[in-house]
A = this chain, B = another copy of it.
């Protein structure tokens, strides 16, 4: 029997659903994508996309492609196997460490499998563009990427081989870069909206990519590896490392005089707070670090932890290290476990403090003598702060920087990332074009990524229910899943309806498998997660079928012709 190109018959589809979760699966997307026959593991972090999985992956890629084309980005395809030299020039051959798959060819030359392509795109534009008239240019590719993750897990959520859309913008001016960045930001909003993903845009620190401004697109999900700050009141959302608190001086507060206390055996905040019967938040903890070799104290409230990553980001390119026992030699004023800023800060020691240590606030802190603390140590009266930096680990209930409401911390999957790289790579590769003034102009770049295979997993995480997957229509492997629940009559009718729908442009999956019970077919349909299920069952002999909405579970019996015309209208809308 010939059949319409939009019709997928399960009797001839390689599809094996599983009743049990794979033993190594922890996340819902991993379990369900495997159980429903979308993907299979080929090796650790390396996946095979089976027929219905390939359709979903392709649907995501198509949406991404359409939106990139719509902003005038040009599609190209660069190699995945890349020579070492450009990555030496950028420094990333070493920086990437074990994350990079390195390879030697038959002549012993070094290659790598591209984790991201800034270097090669920079060289491509250096080869292709010579004048400011050739810019701006935005280039993208949808390509297989490689990262040798230490612990590949969560199925296709974090693989070692994965599909990514990466794009790069090239401008001569900062305003041009800002515009390319804005175009990408808006395209990403459209992409994730079309994909049906719930997402937040958060400010991000750019990490190893370098550059000046960047935002992450996060899809909230319990299985996510990122934690982000979410305000339940306003629309503020941010990477935990990007949350900042302002310094709010306390004026007019009355504080008693500084008083030293005998506090034996209280070298930790916990023992101290217990001993004195005060909350940890009333104490001032002073962490000693070396910044470019110079000992510096970092003061934070006793109930907070210092985020060393955040501290490093603030102080880059200076190098931040923890102090060791040797660093105390020749510094008798530094008493381990009993350091306080009074008498030290601003004098023998640079003092960096959290904005919560605001002028006018009073603290219990070390007295710079063994077994001794001091209370009523007032900022601005008893010590000075050299630099305020927000370096504490953010906590639920911290005030939202926008509206002051207590924030929440949620887990999310990073599905997109946009960077204003600036001239980092252009400098490394001397990417200049002839400027409008006749002189060479250094190019400024942006780089932008969407995890295509990861978006499939993120969707599975966000949209599944206890019965299985629940795809948004534009991503689903089909618009309608027809279940032939009965004998020859039902199967014939199901195929007939499938033909009619397929011919009308509706993407149909039809379960015409012989020897499979209606119960198994229903279970599989729920598991596979096509948005509409059409059941051809007992009513078929009277010309009646059932339509079921996979997400809501709503059911309706209606005449076949009406079902067909309704589905045709929905799918082509």
Please indicate the chain B residues that have their CB under 8 angstroms from the CB of A55 in the complex.
Answer: 75
- Asked whether, in the complex, the Cβ of A128 is within 8 Å of the Cβ of B16, the reply is yes
- Asked whether, in the complex, the Cβ of B14 is within 8 Å of the Cβ of A83, the reply is no
Please indicate the chain B residues that have their CB under 8 angstroms from the CB of A434 in the complex.
Answer: none
Q: Chain A 86-121 against B: per-residue CB contact (8 Å), 1 yes, 0 no?
A: 000000000000100111011000010100000010
- Asked whether, in the complex, the Cβ of B51 is within 8 Å of the Cβ of A76, the reply is yes
CB contact between A82 and one of B43, B98, B105 (< 8 Å): that residue? B43
A456 to chain B, nearest CB (A): 12
- Asked whether, in the complex, the Cβ of A81 is within 8 Å of the Cβ of B146, the reply is yes
CB contact between A76 and one of B16, B48, B139, B514 (< 8 Å): that residue? B48
Please indicate the chain B residues that have their CB under 8 angstroms from the CB of A72 in the complex.
Answer: 12
- Asked whether, in the complex, the Cβ of B14 is within 8 Å of the Cβ of A137, the reply is yes
- Asked whether, in the complex, the Cβ of A48 is within 8 Å of the Cβ of B78, the reply is yes
A42 CB within 8 Å of chain B: yes
- Asked whether, in the complex, the Cβ of B161 is within 8 Å of the Cβ of A48, the reply is no
A46 CB within 8 Å of chain B: yes
A158 CB within 8 Å of chain B: no
Closest to A513 in B: B133
A80 CB within 8 Å of chain B: yes
Please indicate the chain B residues that have their CB under 8 angstroms from the CB of A134 in the complex.
Answer: 14, 16
The A contact surface, by secondary structure, is mixed
Closest to A97 in B: B106
CB contact between A54 and one of B75, B102, B127, B128 (< 8 Å): that residue? B75
- Asked whether, in the complex, the Cβ of B106 is within 8 Å of the Cβ of A69, the reply is no
A550 CB within 8 Å of chain B: no
Please indicate the chain B residues that have their CB under 8 angstroms from the CB of A105 in the complex.
Answer: 101, 148, 160
- Asked whether, in the complex, the Cβ of A46 is within 8 Å of the Cβ of B79, the reply is yes
A59 CB within 8 Å of chain B: no
Q: Report Cα–Cα, A175/B16, bound state, in Å.
A: 26
- Asked whether, in the complex, the Cβ of A81 is within 8 Å of the Cβ of B46, the reply is yes
Please indicate the chain B residues that have their CB under 8 angstroms from the CB of A40 in the complex.
Answer: 124, 127-128
- Asked whether, in the complex, the Cβ of A128 is within 8 Å of the Cβ of B14, the reply is yes
A23 CB within 8 Å of chain B: no
A5 CB within 8 Å of chain B: yes
- Asked whether, in the complex, the Cβ of A51 is within 8 Å of the Cβ of B79, the reply is no
- Asked whether, in the complex, the Cβ of B76 is within 8 Å of the Cβ of A160, the reply is no
Please indicate the chain B residues that have their CB under 8 angstroms from the CB of A98 in the complex.
Answer: 106
Q: Chain A 25-42 against B: per-residue CB contact (8 Å), 1 yes, 0 no?
A: 000000000000100101
- 28 A–B contacts, CB within 8 A, in A order: A5-B69, A5-B70, A14-B128, A14-B134, A16-B128, A16-B134, A42-B83, A42-B120, A43-B111, A46-B82, A48-B76, A48-B77, A48-B120, A48-B124, A49-B78, A50-B124, A51-B74, A51-B75, A51-B139, A53-B77, A54-B75, A54-B77, A55-B75, A81-B160, A81-B161, A101-B103, A106-B148, A144-B144
4 extra interchain contacts, Cβ-Cβ under 8 A, other than A43-B82, A51-B74? A14-B128, A42-B83, A50-B124, A50-B128
